Structure 1
């Protein structure tokens, strides 16, 4: 990676004036990276929404509001956290191309771009290792319990049969989501977004 500290100069030799990423990148690449940044924005927004729902629910003292209102806030927070997991997973799950506009998000594309963005975003090995552990947990949640329901995984996590009552399943899912480090997911995702933005602005260049 090479970095030019002059904010008006790009690694492509561009200085000042009007900068257009499409002068240096294929439209399909810019399109997919735009999808990345959009989903990262959603991760942040969903997690902040969940935190606000939790805060509001805690302000509702028992006996002062209808208990079902408090439950609705709990449901809203859970739904927001699930959406955060789904949006984050979009960075890693295969996404089909829109020919000439958005590149396919396959392993080749992720290796060429996303994996390198992660390396730049987390130069400290401990941070990089923790990010990858968090990523693996998020993908497991998305693919086994949220976006899809894997019977064996659900039974293993909940400790009940799939025929369990909705209430038992709800409480168990809350416990699972409570253990997930959403604060770090939001922070780490935004670090990657900054790297993507710097790349598209020509401030950094990826090593071949």
Structure 2
């Protein structure tokens, strides 16, 4: 069946959505970069002031997996259901970028910033820098691109591998974060508190 291959127009729309998200985050008062004053490609600690402030961290695999999930959602809407007609599949990327951008804005609201440290392994979370949020949107787009290029079974294997590695190293990941944000489980909280990258 068809793929969600964007064209020039939908790539431009996707970039515009990302730019609007950056502008909203700046208007919300989020710091442009880490308040430490420098930018790192990789930050491996999840419970310090540098977490979610740089380009990549232990939550990057979660954002790549978002791209895979959003691709599947777009495929179901635009290809399987035929929503938006014959050229609807081209709108999969803008849909994915919109969903990720909306999450980045929501994630940086006071209610979510306050909830993360209280129920997830991300005890030191204080919101994202705008750079980190923009990078997260980019990582999501990378996950979307991987689905376009790789067989489905390889994509699924990569998503599972990303979750396993993050789970083993920092005792967190996409699935655990969603569970703990929505339905905190004391046993998981205790397990997360007992280890991981501090």
TM-score, normalisation: structure 2: 0.29
